[in-house]
Amino acid sequence: MLLRSTAAANMAGPLPSPSAALSHHAAAPTTIPDFPPRTTTSTLRALSDLRRGGGARFSGVGSSCQRAMQSLAPKCASVTDISVDQSMENVKLPKGDTWSIHKFGGTCVGTSERINNVADIIVGDESERKLVVVSAMSKVTDMMYDLIQKAQSRDDSYVAALDAVFEKHRLTATDLLDGDELLSFLSRLHNDISNLKAMLRAIYIAGHATESFTDFVVGHGELWSAQMLSFVIRKKGFDCRWMDTRDVLIVNPTNSNQVDPDYLESEKRLDLWFSQNEVKIIIATGFIASTPENIPTTLKRDGSDFSAAIMGALTMARQVTIWTDVNGVYSADPRKVIEAVVLKTLSYQEAWEMSYFGANVLHPRTIIPVMRYGIPIIIRNIFNLSAPGTMICQPSCDENGYDQHVETPVKGFATIDNLALVNVEGTGMAGVPGTASAIFSAVKDVGANVIMISQASSEHSVCFAVPEKEVKAVAEALQSRFREALDAGRLSQVAVIPNCSILAAVGQKMASTPGVSATLFNALAKANINVRAIAQGCSEYNVTVVVKREDCIRALRAVHSRFYFSRTTIAMGIIGPGLIGGTLLEQLRDQTAVLKEEFNIDLRVMGITSSKTMLLSELGMDLSKWKDQLAEQGEDADLQAFVQHVHGNHFIPNTVIVDCTADSYIATHYYEWLRKGIHVITPNKKANSGPLEQYLKLRALQRQSYSHYFYEATVGAGLPIISTLRGLLETGDKILNIEGIFSGTLSYIFNNFKSDRDFSEVVAEAKQAGYTEPDPRDDLSGTDVARKVIILARESGLKLELSDIPVESLVPEPLRASTSPEEYMQQLPEFDEDWAKKRQEAEDSGEVLRYVGVVDVVNQRGRVELRNYKKDHPFAQLSGSDNIISFTTSRYKEQPLIVRGPGAGAQVTAGGIFSDILRLASYLGAPS
């Protein structure tokens, strides 16, 4: 008698006695009854294999094991294997676009509610014919492997674990089904559990399970989920059958981790199955198959995806949809790159490359069956049906062969961690045939997997990456294989570089787009990432680099940001949210959206700190609320923790600290920050006017690194003083003299100190208007101007200390010791007569008083003093708080170059800082 396939047998003939099944259903849920087993073909194959593969092992285990095996054998004596040739009918499976393939993973069918959702999706698909591949319920496959492990370890708890498997499916079926469908499923579930109980007992006694026997046991989860789903769809009024793919899919095992489908034999068996089950909705088990000898096996890792792809090829379907719990394939791992985007399309080659390098896409072998026929694979999220997902297909090309729909040459990035580099190096390798063969033969002998290979064109060295857990064996094998060459000096070393990670950039259009590698490596350099090895195939589908493991996430985010978002995404930390810092934050609030939209510059404030409180953000602050958040959510200020947060987020490759204070302690950290790859922007004059040795050290580091240090606002607030001076010097001009009114406060005072006004009155007015410091003596002492002079002197190449600059103080000697600003202001009118006399002397000569700073480059000196200027001199034409600076150079000797404009006030100073931030963005690659 010929045994029909499992699915055909299921749907033909009478159901088991409802009363018998119901009595078992009502029994205690954790007790598995001795239900008379109805053994399937696959069960027979597994038993046959167990006998053949484990006969010698079982021969000495005693009569208990023999009885466990023999309890199933009599029921199978009259059953033979399926014979395709003898059973083929005229009905053949129709092929083509009428078929739509769906695959649902374990999370998709993890509960009764989710199984119902899957059924709704299937019946809602308007395709004429549908073949649905399902995995086991979530965690069930792991539970089945655990059963095997417990049984062969002779752990009695395998019985309770099997009860838990039974109970999980019984409860799910009870939620989903009722009536005859429930009784029918429970009948089959009891049958399978009884068989498994006997088989696990045999394994328990033998203390061993063959690979094929293990495959048979773990495949039951798919059998049960497929049956339940098919019953649910039938309950909704649609004709549906479930398929045990072990009766259809035939594969040839090649090693322990891979199988090759036998498409010809599988096609014959599928036609046979369809001739007996001519339906338009088929629910097929994923993951499981059979060998040509009809021994149960699995499709190994990601086997259900592979099942769906094979079915797509066998039916030549319109498309294969893989349902999962993510919105599609991301441009990078969203757990590492928060702003990774879902890709609309991927080519087969791109998906293949990304999956090889660890991206959560598909296993490379899943792509092979559908790629042969150009069948698209769509990755969709079952929990977000509105998301269109990612389509993996052959890209549409123009007449030149270029993909018409690629927006960026790099589609995605992937990483592999926990690797080590092995470097084999020596002059004796050059031009010697067979060296590489000997190296990788030794690696093969220890069973190590080579992830990447890189060789210098000089043939002086070969390096390759292997999993870190295998590197010790690899190194020892190479040392042994090349001992003679090492001793003779032909090879200099076999070196191991641990703690490495691989970063791969993947994109089919990389081959036709100049500069992709340059952009990649530039992004890594800007993020201060050192590359240890590089590999690229001639197809240019991917560029692979090896970096330190601790740099991997930052490297991934740096390159992703460069290709997918603004080329200049910058994490900012603002120190000093006072008048200047607060104004800067307001300007950033008003302009960041425009900069991102129109100029592709993405500025994100990740932290704000005052001397007492700091506010940190993971993604970037809402600058319309920062004041309230700092007051309500701020934590105790910690400068080290603040900088670590802003720079260590790894989410944004570029970091800048903006110091809006006048604090010398903050300025001492600039060198350390620059050395770590953190850019620094500041109006704080303390660093550049401090000790000469520290200044020279800071500038030397700036020139040697990719870290930028901008300080335009230290001299002229928002005026381009530093940049103008640098432009002159960099173009070869020679600076002779710099002279200017550098203080907006003192400019205001002397512009308004006219014949009808007292000096003390004007100072009080300036203080009231906010032009002066809280203590006006800080402005009138001339120290601030002296710092600006020393900064310009050092920029011009003079090696001067602040103490080398003579300063004429405008604070009368008797008032320098005043105990408070208020006392000073009360006593200042006593000196109005002296100031009136100075003003009158100037007016009598047709001149005005101006407080200036001078850099005499020719004589290598500087000074700060009160000077008289003719009324037609540019310095006499100022108004308000304007600054003016005159550059006398070799080119501008007869007519000095003059820069003039507002030199004081929060708005212009913050604007000068903002200008430096945009200058940094330009240096980092923002469009001009």
Q: Return d(Cα 308, Cα 284) in angstroms, integer.
A: 9
Burial of 44 (C-beta count, 10 Å sphere; 0-12/13-18/19+): buried
Q: Return d(Cα 375, Cα 373) in angstroms, integer.
A: 5
Which three-class secondary structure state does DSSP give residue 866?
strand
Please report, for residues 93, 96, 183, the alpha-carbon distance to residue 374 in angstroms, rounded to integers and kept in the order given. Answer: 20, 12, 43
Q: Return d(Cα 303, Cα 259) in angstroms, integer.
A: 10
Q: Which residues lie below 8 Å from residue 743, measured CB to CB, with a gap of 6+?
A: 779, 784, 785, 851, 883, 903, 904
Q: Return d(Cα 212, Cα 192) in angstroms, integer.
A: 17
Measured at the CA of 901, the angle between CA 897 and CA 906, to 5 degrees, comes to: 140
Q: Return d(Cα 685, Cα 161) in angstroms, integer.
A: 72
Pairing of strands 568-575, 601-609: parallel
Answer yes or no: are the C-beta atoms of 810 and 824 closer than 8 Å.
Answer: no
Buried b / exposed e over 223-242, threshold 16 CB at 10 Å, is bbbbbbbbbbbbbeebebbb
**CA torsion, ordered 294, 300, 305, 310, to nearest 10 deg:** -40
Q: Tokens 């259009």 — which residue?
A: 509
Distance of CA 111 to the CA centre of its chain: 31
DSSP states of 870-897:
ETTSGGGG--TTEEEEEEEESSSSSS-E
Q: Which of 6, 7, 305, 256 is nearest to 135 (CA)?
A: 305
Which residues are catalytically annotated? 788
Q: Tokens 């120190």 — which residue?
A: 575
Measured at the CA of 340, the angle between CA 337 and CA 346, to 5 degrees, comes to: 130
Backbone angles phi, psi at 491, to 5 degrees: -110, 135
Element (H, E) at 899: strand 897-902
Neighbours of 518 (CB within 10 A): 9
Instruction: State the SS3 of 738-750.
Output: EEEECCHHHHHHH
Please report, for residues 148, 450, 472, 499, the alpha-carbon distance to residue 422 in angstroms, rounded to integers and kept in the order given. Answer: 38, 10, 10, 12
The encoded tokens of residue 16 equal: 């088991």
Helix and strand totals (H; E) in the chain: 36, 30
Element (H, E) at 55: helix 41-58
Q: Which residues lie below 8 Å from residue 127, measured CB to CB, with a gap of 6+?
A: 98, 99, 100, 318
